[in-house]
Structure 1
């Protein structure tokens, strides 16, 4: 079914039909530039969360980290990200998306400097928490900013660019770790060089955001209609900006008359509470796939599989490469394949991959020359499945499903819980591997992924092919949860 015409009888279908179609023009280049600048936040997110993968071993030796403090250093960024996600969302509602991203770039820069010059474990934790605040804010605000700026026809692919930049940042961290670790690994403080690289994109993000416009939906929500029309005029074809702005303004005015969507309003409304639970469930399901156990502890997993330290640093680049390839494919699919189908395929594949990793580590004992290469291949297959079918789709869906007046709150709350799940996994994963090994860990992940598959099939509605205003009508009326509407693709 063509997404341009929508589902017959779907809520708000007339909103789409009233808009002039997208046509080629210079606005597309402008959209691309704005997305590139904003997604430097995603690049910083990816680099900062993954650089620890290679920096941890030399850092442990220099700072005298134990198994417990190793987990604390890794997870302190993630607990900071949980706070940053929910506070960044609320701040962006008050200050605006653009100003919040500017502030976030400053936290990226300051946190990196504290980590680079940290003389002891305690200072390192402070620096990692500062970085976490920035990472959490980036994970909330940047996808919302892109979704609110994008035309609905290409919202999936434009919003998904942030996830693409996250995996580019992860790959960059793996490459930097491999080069720095193998070239200067015998020198003290090599991990400080790995951590210092991130200051460059932090400066680029700050300078770039000075020239980027504010979200037109935020502007309209705060009474700046003419400014919003001017912004839309830069990123829409001729003749569409004012029509779209009036649609947004009409729905925003109607929504503001109904209720002020603070947390009490959300929790007291049946449909808003349900969509919030969907967002939280998606975030937790994404984290409990175990993807970040690979991104944070990939080198340790590969060493346990049988690679030596130098080779583990090198082959650890492979998951980063496949992550970028998978994210690129996901962007190509995002505007043509329904979100629900993408989730169902993704969780099915990750469940199978986890089972195969567990079986492979069970039947190939330590010392078997095939063991490290089989596990590496299966890890790469898992990361590819995750990036192609889940990561981009989850972040795009979280940026779409919430009504405007609860979007930052809903996104912030969902990502807050997402980061908490991530943080506890990061904190306890080394202990878990020591206790039950790769086999037990990945069999456990397989069980969780199977539960996530059931959740997606029964609870998550379809969002592709609808304007944000149309989705807002469907959510606030509860019609988005009707089976016919939920399955719309």
Structure 2
């Protein structure tokens, strides 16, 4: 049963859990709908005959076609990579609200360029539009989770951040099905492929409009010494008067936390970066986060996301319509698996176990598909209907989706967000997000060539890499579930395999001792008892 009860760290007025905080989180999550759709629709759109004919791709050799299709897909990830890094600077100087607004407007520009591209203009405008849209997506993927975390009441922070992942999967489902829909119901012609590209304007436009309704993050305003505006925004988001004790206490904690962060990392935009790269322990931790995103990509997920029609054709699925239909089913399964992960699995069974099960089960499925293709050679023996062996390969593929969705899909993001200290988290999140897009770029850029040169070996390749991630996770990744953020330094100082058990035992002993002595034990409280610097508009608590 899903537990939706609210566990509070202190007595909280019921007004705090109001419609505004959910509304602001939902508006910001148009960014994840935008990201999910843009990551999913392109493979289906490129499979349409109208698109291929418009850009004369059908007249190209296999090598030329692979090169051009890889360029169309991968230049988007290249833009995302630089956008994710830029998001750190955009968020620092422009804030969360206006940073998202700028990203949305630039995304709309990139989408329009993709729509106006044609055979007459060539693919240059298409490439430019994909790069620009990718840059915007990279910025939005950085700013949205940070904004939601900064405005959320602690007791429902996980729930609100979960909306980000949910929006991503909703966008992906629409993206996977849009190709099938236009192929079935829109006559052959430019409108057929224009529609999938034009749909990008909906989440992009909604993010732009939604951004204007947002209240700027009180924490970001406080970092700019705009305490009066920060207090007013916080009171509005919490639906309480500015002089309410709850609002005053939270504002005090925000200011104290900022002072603590600046004491540890220094002021300015470069302080956290200097602290990060000057500390080997933090760099090692960052390396583990990046390694998990490498592991996520070697599952083959981005090869499937961006080239799903090619993947299904290799199994023996023939016909554009049938290929797009099977792609749509993949999107629905992936969405359902993400919901299961969010509501049931991630906090109940931890991080390591899910990753190991996902790798083991996914590898078996990939090996089965590769063996079937190696033996049956479906592409060399085309038939009007899929064979019994082909059906088993399809089942294996969908089982792979069920193993991947509740494990590797979202867990690396959770691990990266919860393991880094607050005072360098904005900088590390930018680097982690950029690493994800870098790996996605490499996979997207070379997948067509891999299918041409390796055939069934592509599946054997991904399956083998998934097996490699099992010992890496087991021996080097500590379990982080249930560990308070303030104890992460101690967790990573212990041996990964036994760290969670040792720390959990120690933490429970401290809680018991505190209960026996009648004292509350909280490192977080100790941290936030720094006396805030007073200014003429600072808030007295």
TM-score, normalising length: structure 2: 0.80
Query: Are 1:388 and 2:390 matched, yes or no?
Result: no
Q: Would you say 1:60 and 2:70 are equivalent positions? A: no
Q: Which residue of 2 aligns with 1:445?
A: 462
Residues 1:235 and 1:336: Cα distance change in structure 2 (over 3 Å)? farther
2:429 corresponds in structure 1 to 411
Q: Which of 39, 51, 59 lines up with 1:49 in the alignment?
A: 39
Deviation, structure 1 residue 169: 0.8
- Name the residue aligned to 2:323: 312
In the alignment, which of 237, 251, 256 is matched to residue 257 of structure 2? 251
Compute the displacement of 1:393 (Å): 2.3
Contact 1:344 1:453 survives alignment (8 Å): yes
CA distance in 2: counterparts of 1:123 and 1:482, whole angstroms: 52
Structure 1 range deviating more: 125-134 or 281-290: 281-290
Identify the residue that residue 293 of structure 1 maps to in structure 2: 303
**Matching of residue 166 in structure 1 with residue 156 in structure 2:** no
> Which whole-Å CA distance do the structure 1 matches of 2:331 and 2:94 have between them?
35
2:472 to 440, 446, 455: 455
Relative to structure 1, is the Cα distance of residues 376 and 137 closer, same or farther in structure 2, using a 3 angstrom cutoff? farther
Q: Distance in 2 between matches of 1:196 and 1:262?
A: 39
1:207 is aligned, of 209, 219, 223, to: 209
Counterpart for residue 109 of structure 1: 108
Question: Relative to 1, partners in 2 of residues 1:164 and 1:303: Cα closer, same or farther, differing over 3 Å?
Answer: same
What runs of 5+ residues in structure 1 fail to find an aligned partner? Answer: 4-15
- Quote how far apart the aligned CAs of 1:402 are: 2.6
Which of 377, 387, 393 is the equivalent residue of 1:375?
393
C-alpha spacing 1:280/1:433, structure 2 compared with 1 (3 Å): same
User: How many Å separate the matches in 2 of 1:240 and 1:461?
Assistant: 36
Give 1:325's match in structure 2, choosing from 320, 323, 336. 336
2:22 matches 1:32 = yes
State the secondary structure of the residue aligned to 1:388: coil
How far, CA to CA, are the matches of 1:185 and 1:313 in structure 2? 16
- 1:13 corresponds in structure 2 to none
Offset at residue 61 of structure 1 (A): 2.6
Q: Report what 2:75 is aligned to.
A: 76
Alpha carbons of structure 1 residues 25 and 454: separation in structure 2 relative to 1, 3 Å: farther
Q: Deviations over 1:371-418 (max 9, x none)?
A: 443232222222232222222222233333333332222111112121
Does 194-203 or 231-240 show the bigger shift?
231-240
CA distance change for structure 1 residues 478 and 226 in 2, over 3 Å: closer, same or farther? Answer: farther
Deviations 1:248-304 (A, max 9, x none): 432331231233334333111122212221221122221221111111111111122
Q: Is the 8 A contact 2:15 2:239 kept in 1?
A: yes
Q: Within 2, Cα distance between the matches of 1:462 and 1:148? A: 25
1:303-322, Cα deviation, whole Å (9 max, x unpaired): 22222222111121111101
Equivalent position to 2:372, from 360, 365, 368:
360
Structure 1 residue 185, shift from structure 2 partner: 4.9
Higher relative contact order (CA 8 A, sep 6+): 1
Distance change in 2, residues 1:357/1:205 (3 Å): same
Structure 1 residue corresponding to 2:177, chosen from 163, 175, 178: 175
* Residue 276 (structure 2) pairs with residue 274 (structure 1): no
Structure 1 Cα separation of the partners of residues 153 and 415 of structure 2: 15
Number of the residue aligned with 1:12: none
- Long gaps (5+) in structure 2: 58-64, 505-541
Deviation of 1:69 after TM superposition, in Å, equals 1.2
For 2:369 and 2:330, locate their aligned partners in 1 and report how far apart those are by CA, in whole Å: 14
Change (3 A) 1:351 1:248: farther
Greater mean deviation of Cα atoms: 217-226 or 376-385: 217-226
Q: CA contact under 8 A between 1:163 and 1:391: conserved in structure 2?
A: no
The CA deviation at 1:172 is 0.3
Following superposition, the deviation at residue 83 of structure 1 comes to 0.6
Bigger drift between 99-108 and 138-147 goes to 138-147
Q: SS state of the match for residue 407, structure 2?
A: helix
| Structure number, greater radius of gyration | 2
Query: Match for 2:354 among 342, 347, 350?
Result: 342
> Structure 2 matches for 1:213-232, cutoff 5 A?
213-232=215-234
Deviation per CA, 1:447-481, whole angstroms, max 9, x where unpaired?
Answer: 22223233333333444446xxx62x445x55544
Q: 1:219 to 1:393 in 2, by over 3 A?
A: farther
The correspondence for 1:284, drawn from 281, 286, 294, is 294
Q: Which moved more, 1:258-267 or 1:299-308?
A: 258-267
